[in-house]
């Protein structure tokens, strides 16, 4: 069996503990799986919840009939297109998240990016993979799992 290289992963902005020796696969899973979104992220929407009621949030990923909606504090709802509609009202918090979602949707794998770590420090690296809720950013031998809210195009 081949020896796999060890990567340091730092989950950012997620409520998911990938453990003391996380793998890239577990980080990818924490970010919703590898997927580039179709058009639509950044819309403030209302989603009909399965247990009743509606939740207001931000559309962060579109794939076919599937929609992923950020509903606050690192929580997401994956649902169908028929359960999501454009919200009639917004808020400053949702507007900020919507802006982050639009900015993240425009990023491309292989692009130089700047990731903000939980402690506020910034790391410049390469967007290795885009996932539903964020991306994997490579810097040397380290790979960071970064929330869509914490990664931007690196300054030139």
The CATH number covering residue 100 comes to 2.30.30
In a domain, 127, yes or no: yes
Domain presence at residue 61: yes
Q: Are residues 53 and 85 in the same domain?
A: yes
Residues 102 and 120 in one domain: no
- 56 has pLDDT over 90: yes
Residues 99 and 127 in one domain: no
Tokens of 123: 């790391």
Is the Cβ–Cβ distance between 128 and 137 less than 8 Å?
yes
Of residues 1 and 146, more confidently modeled: 146
Total domain count, the chain: 2
Question: Lowest-pLDDT range, 14-18, 47-51, 93-97, 146-150?
Answer: 14-18
**Residue 8 pLDDT more than 60?**
no
User: How many other C-beta atoms can be found within 10 angstroms of the C-beta atom of residue 146?
Assistant: 30
Alpha-carbon distance of 61 to 39, in angstroms, equals 8
**Distance of CA 12 to CAs 16, 26, 54, 77, Å?**
9, 14, 27, 19
Same domain, 99 and 144: no
Helices marked H in 4-123: 24-30, 92-106
- State pLDDT tens for residues 76-114: 999 999 999 999 988 999 999 999 999 999 999 999 999
Do 101 and 116 belong together in one domain?
A: no
146 within a domain of the structure (yes/no): yes
- Contact assessment for residue 101 and residue 58, using Cβ atoms and an 8 Å cutoff: yes
Q: Measuring CA to CA, how many Å separate 105 from each of 18, 28, 44, 127, 149?
A: 24, 17, 15, 12, 11
User: Same domain for 95 and 124?
Assistant: no
Range of the domain at 131: 11-34+109-153
Does position 6 have pLDDT exceeding 50, yes or no?
no
Length of the chain: 156
* pTM for this prediction: 0.80
Q: In this structure, are 94 and 142 located in the same domain?
A: no
Closest CA to 103 of 130, 142, 74, 64: 130
């Amino acid at each position: 069996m081949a020896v796999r290289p060890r990567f340091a992963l730092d989950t950012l902005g997620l409520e998911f503990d990938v453990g003391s020796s996380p793998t890239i696969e577990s980080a990818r899973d924490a970010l919703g799986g590898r997927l580039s979104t179709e058009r639509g992220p950044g819309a403030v929407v209302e989603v009909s919840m399965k247990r009743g009621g509606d939740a207001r949030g931000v559309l962060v990923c579109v794939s076919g009939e599937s929609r992923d909606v950020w509903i606050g504090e690192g929580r997401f709802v994956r649902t169908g297109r028929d359960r999501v509609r454009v919200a009639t009202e917004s808020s400053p918090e949702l507007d900020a998240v919507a802006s982050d979602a639009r900015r993240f949707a425009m990023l491309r794998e292989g692009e130089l990016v700047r990731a903000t770590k939980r402690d506020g420090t910034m790391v410049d690296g390469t967007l290795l993979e885009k996932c539903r809720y964020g991306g994997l950013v490579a810097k040397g031998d380290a790979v960071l799992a970064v929330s869509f809210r914490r990664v931007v195009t690196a300054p030139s």
